[in-house]
Amino acid sequence: MQTHILGYPRIGSNRELKKACEQYWSGKITLQQLQTVSKNITTQNWKLQKEAGIDLVPCNDFSFYDQVLDMSLVVGAIPKRYHEVAVKSNSEMDLYFAMARGYQKDGLDITAMEMTKWFDTNYHYIVPEFYKNQEFKLFSNKIINEFEGAKQAGVKAKPVIIGLVSYLLLGKEKEEGFDKLDLAKNLLPVYIEILKDLEARGAEWIQFDEPFLVLDLNEKAKETFQFVYKELRKQFPHLKILVATYFDGLKDNLSLAVSLPVCALHIDLVRNPEQLDEVLNAVPENLSLSLGVVDGRNIWKNDFETSLNFIKKAIDKIGTDSVLIAPSCSLLHSPCDLDLETNLDSEIKNWLAFAKQKVDEVVMLKELANGNAIEKSEENQKAIASRKTSKLIHNEQVKQRVNSVTEKDAQRENEFSIRKTKQQKVLNLPLFPTTTIGSFPQTTEVRSWRAKFKKGELNAQQYDTLLKEETEKTIRWQEEIGIDVLVHGEFERNDMVEYFGEQLNGFVFTKNGWVQSYGSRCVKPPIIFGDVSRPNPMTVYWSKYAQSLTEKWVKGMLTGPVTILQWSFVRNDQPRSETCKQIALAIRDEVSDLENAGIKIIQIDEPAIREGLPLRKVDWQNYLKWAVESFRIASTGVKDSTQIHTHMCYSEFNDIIQNIADMDADVITIECSRSQMELLDAFAEFKYPNEIGPGVYEIHSPRVPSKEEMVELLRKAEAVIPANQIWVNPDCGLKTRHWDETRKALEAMVAASKEATIAYLQEEKANNHWL
């Protein structure tokens, strides 16, 4: 029996990588200094795992930005537009960061590659770009370098490589007339070249991540899996190849997965424990099974009794030598180290395990399965029992309230057409009304006020005054440039989910529980440990203050229940739907309080609603039913005249448009500019009846859009959506942007709205004249 880890967090337990990357980007440190930071992180990670007693320690799980982008560089999938950067900068690292973040230097203005969600997680990867007959060639030596780096640290590591089929399926065809899977034949020689080199250097085990094996696959994908792994086996009869699947069960891909001629197959027994029996029955004699029993996506202490039952069952069926023990997936999605949490309630802390502790759990499970360290099992069972019976968790009132929600509680008084008239009477908004999504730049200064406040270097009143000044400046500036519906800027928020978690009962938050979201950006998901309720209003103070400063409407700004659920660590002792409804009721109360405080427009952000979709289509409707219902519980307790907005980013809507419509928000703002308004087609085809704000500019890069390009996008929108349904706004919040680019971009956006209005009215006039 062996233990292994599928991947370890690479940000460093104090976010050293984030800080070093950002310093490198702003020219404050050299490439060599950046590389020293990465070397320290990887070395520490390898040593930690080796010293804990892990048999197969991973390498190539480090990344300066994203592991999929790393793979694109390794196999030379570098889109042509970056070739000049490679020449001008003469640095592999700068080329790499240019692909991730765009390049505006040396007279070049090149956009970043697209970024999207990694399966159903809050991690984002850089989408590979594929072209017909694309050739690949080994470009970056990263995998070899990491293997050698681990060797120097005294570890013969197991390289973790994105499997060939999943790598292709993660990408996007950038021209028509071919299927990305057609490229497998061209890509295979590069994989073979890498494996040859690794084998020559002494590698024994190779982990290929193939998460697509838990998704719905077509015949071509299945054939490609067979083709690729047969070829690899032919070439490398002695390498131990482990295929890793995670985030769901193999289900109808089981026979395919167990037929691959590899040494070991990893399965996720946290997400899909039911698959174990079926897999054990199907596993051929020469295939080892890696049991993903420690939850890599959540922070709860492992229940050793449950895990040991799985392990024993597997040992009985296939023998000790054929069993590996592991976390369910890479620990990338877990915070680094619970030991750093010195402020957590000790009862709750005893229920938790972060990455470092999960490594120990994996080792301990092997010990226990071997009949050793019985006292550790008793300790573990005490902690598990204490959580089951704790008084901290249950609140009968909350449970009763969820149980007594009726259909009427999830419905507005009247349908949208009636609400629209009533809202327009109150709001009196122009055609193409302008607004933003909520956050304004979270400058280093604003963040430093909060850091000082937390350290006690600023008192509550000083902190409050600084935030009020920043809010007032932002309100005045929005008035000045003529935005129609203002926002307060969200300066008081550390994060759109954590901020709410900090104020709700049933949540705890950590000091240092950071998890990578994309590139250098991290999030600190709050932990939902018990029944959720709202002891006090959470946002009314700031919305009321902002509204008191101006005659214009200020939107109240909330995060929706599904997004709070999705971006938190969620309790695993009740269905997610139950927790979601509890959060929904808390948000419903906040919405009511905002309305009572005179706020006429309330936005409830749900950017994670699509991310929460189960990976298999058969499971979608069940999820969508409770997710949409939760949004409706949160949003429908208002008068017809109160306008409810929602906002979503990173979403494709075609296949869930009916459910989006069922949310029945009066206005939805969506990310749209990167797809050049293509995302609107789903709304147009569906004849989406409510109002829509398609994002007219991209907010992930510092590039300032021109008025003309936004007018052009509005014209595209008008071609498919009636003008009186269209709002004008950026793709998402502006928290990651600087003020200078924000000012220029929003001024141009307001000008674009005016131009679109004039053009529309002129056309109307001409049409009427003609009639």
Ligand X SMILES: CN1c2c(nc(N)[nH]c2=O)NC[C@@H]1CNc1ccc(C(=O)N[C@@H](CCC(=O)N[C@@H](CCC(=O)N[C@@H](CCC(=O)O)C(=O)O)C(=O)O)C(=O)O)cc1
Ligand Y SMILES: N[C@@H](CCS)C(=O)O
Instruction: For residue 567, say whether it is annotated as part of any ligand binding site.
Output: yes
Site pattern 474..513 for ligand Y (x: CB under 6 A): ----------------------x-----------------
Q: Which of 217, 557, 663, 745 binds ligand Y (CB under 6 A)?
A: 557
- Report how far apart, in Å, the C-alpha atoms of 552 and of each of 427, 478, 480, 483 are: 9, 10, 11, 9
- DSSP 3-state of 110: strand
The two beta strands, 515-518 and 527-533, are unpaired
Distance (Å, rounded) from C-alpha 504 to C-alpha 370? Answer: 43
Tell which residue, 698, 760, 676, has the closest CA to residue 726: 760
Instruction: For residue 346, say whether it is annotated as part of any ligand binding site.
Output: no
Site pattern 624..663 for Zn ion (x: CB under 5 A): -------------------------x--------------
Burial category of 236 from C-beta neighbours within 10 Å (exposed 0-12, middle 13-18, buried 19 and up) = middle
SS3 sequence of 23-59: HHHCCCCCHHHHHHHHHHHHHHHHHHHHHHCCCECEE
CB of 650 to ligand X, least distance (A): 7
Given the residues 266, 700, 738, 769, select the one marked as catalytic. Answer: 700
- Facing residues of 521 across strands? 518
Instruction: For residue 15, say whether it is annotated as part of any ligand binding site.
Output: yes
Q: Which of 272, 439, 510, 636 binds ligand Y (CB under 6 A)?
A: 439
Q: Which of residues 597-636 bind ligand Y (CB under 6 A)?
A: 605, 607
**Could you say whether residue 523 binds ligand Y (CB under 6 A)?**
no
Which residue, chain included where needed, has tokens 């020449």? 87
Distance (Å, rounded) from C-alpha 310 to C-alpha 315? Answer: 9
Q: Which of 732, 746, 750, 752 binds ligand Y (CB under 6 A)?
A: 732
Name the binder of 138 from Zn ion, ligand Y, ligand X, none, CB < 5-8 A by kind.
none
- Facing residues of 668 across strands? 646, 692
**Could you say whether residue 562 binds Zn ion (CB under 5 A)?**
no
The two beta strands, 205-209 and 240-244, are parallel
**Could you say whether residue 733 binds ligand Y (CB under 6 A)?**
yes
Of the pair 235, 736, the CB lying nearest ligand Y is at 736
**Among all residues, whose Cβ is closest to ligand Y?**
733
Q: Which of 291, 467, 732, 756 binds Zn ion (CB under 5 A)?
A: 732
Distance (Å, rounded) from C-alpha 5 to C-alpha 696? Answer: 43
Name the binder of 439 from ligand Y, ligand X, Zn ion, none, CB < 5-8 A by kind.
ligand Y
Instruction: For residue 329, say whether it is annotated as part of any ligand binding site.
Output: no
> Which residues fall within 8 angstroms of residue 24, CB to CB, at 6 or more apart?
30, 31, 33, 34
Of the pair 114, 755, the CB lying nearest ligand X is at 114
Of the pair 85, 496, the CB lying nearest ligand X is at 496
Residues 10/61, Cβ–Cβ less than 8 Å: yes
Of the pair 433, 607, the CB lying nearest ligand Y is at 607
Name the binder of 448 from ligand X, ligand Y, Zn ion, none, CB < 5-8 A by kind.
ligand X
**What is the number of residues in the chain?**
771
Residues 150/163, Cβ–Cβ less than 8 Å: no
Tell which residue, 614, 703, 595, has the closest CA to residue 112: 703
Burial category of 685 from C-beta neighbours within 10 Å (exposed 0-12, middle 13-18, buried 19 and up) = exposed
Distance (Å, rounded) from C-alpha 21 to C-alpha 732? Answer: 24
CB of 523 to ligand X, least distance (A): 4
Of the pair 104, 736, the CB lying nearest ligand Y is at 736
Name the binder of 225 from ligand X, ligand Y, Zn ion, none, CB < 5-8 A by kind.
none
Annotated catalytic residue 769: no
The count of residues interacting with ligand Y (CB under 6 A) is 12
Instruction: For residue 122, say whether it is annotated as part of any ligand binding site.
Output: yes
The binding site for 5-methyltetrahydropteroyltri-L-glutamate consists of 15-18, 117, 122, 521-522, 567, 611
The binding site for L-homocysteine consists of 437-439, 490, 605
The binding site consists of 15-18, 117, 122, 437-439, 490, 521-522, 567, 605, 611, 647, 649, 662, 671, 732
Contacts with ligand Y, residue ranges (CB under 6 A): 437-439, 496, 557, 605, 607, 647, 649, 732-733, 735
Active site amino acids: 700
